[in-house]
Amino acid sequence: MISLTILGCDGSHQDAGGAASGYLVRSWASGTSVWMDAGPGTFGNLQRFTDPFQLSAIVLTHEHHDHFSDVEGFITAARWVYGFARDPVPVYAAPGVRGHLTQSIDGILDWHEVGDGDGVDVGDLRLSFSRTHHPPVTLATRLQGPSSALGYSADSGPEWSLSALGPGLDLALCEATYTSDHKGPPIHMSGSEAGSNARLAGARRLVVTHRWPTADAAEVLAEASEAFGGTVEQAAVGRGYSL
């Protein structure tokens, strides 16, 4: 069984008291755990659900700060506070992220740059990456477990399809940043675009995330549900899903 726990889901920046993009994915059979995106606020929430220094890997989908900046807190805590005593944690990151870090990662992170079409094994999870429609290189991620698959859009406009992550997604975690009536730049999706994207990819379940704090949550959910043709769930910090 794979589980997904929402550590942060605010779009592009933290809402009041909230957290930007970040997720904990675990494969329970093997004890594998992946911190997928490390937006502001998510390192704190990560510690509510697992020991951050036992992570199997960290995935950073792109260099926008709302997807990686809390890895700085991880490095600081590991180096100065807790006496980090393990092999460096593997990081799989899009190009560009590493250059933003302000601290040395020596002994703490084992950094690997990945790109479109790459795949890596983390425990019994197979991770594969697809470049989305978003200005810096941004990598949607499929996490394939022994018996189920999770697809994460990261950030993307509607020109990229979740089907690029392959068939058989048991759950699609897809960004839905705004409503159709109040669209921003086409490097993100509306609720409607997320819903039709997931439907066309054949996803069994859809969880929408990365909503701008100014976008109406009920409207995003309603238009996503209509376009998906089924029940859609809205990500919220602490919410968990099993697949």
H or E stretch covering 44: helix 42-49
Structure tokens at 176: 């839905």
Which lies closer to Zn ion via its Cβ, residue 26 or residue 210?
Answer: 210
Minimal distance, residue 134 CB to Zn ion, in Å: 6
Minimal distance, residue 64 CB to Zn ion, in Å: 3
Which lies closer to Zn ion via its Cβ, residue 188 or residue 205?
Answer: 188
Which lies closer to Zn ion via its Cβ, residue 155 or residue 170?
Answer: 155
Helix and strand element counts for the chain (H, E): 4, 14
Tell me, residue by residue from 42 to 71, as one string, x for binding to Zn ion by CB under 5 A and - for no binding.
----------------------x-------
Interface with Zn ion by CB under 5 A: which range of 37-45, 77-85, 122-130, 153-161? 153-161
Tell which one of 10, 63, 155, 193 touches Zn ion (CB under 5 A). Answer: 155
Minimal distance, residue 142 CB to Zn ion, in Å: 19
C-alpha triplet 132, 134, 139: angle, nearest 5°: 40
Return the closest-CA partner of residue 208 out of 165, 166, 239, 187.
239
Rg of the chain (C-alpha set): 16
Handedness of CA 74, 5, 14, 154 (dihedral sign): positive
Minimal distance, residue 156 CB to Zn ion, in Å: 9
The residues that touch Zn ion, with contacts defined as CB under 5 A, are 64, 155
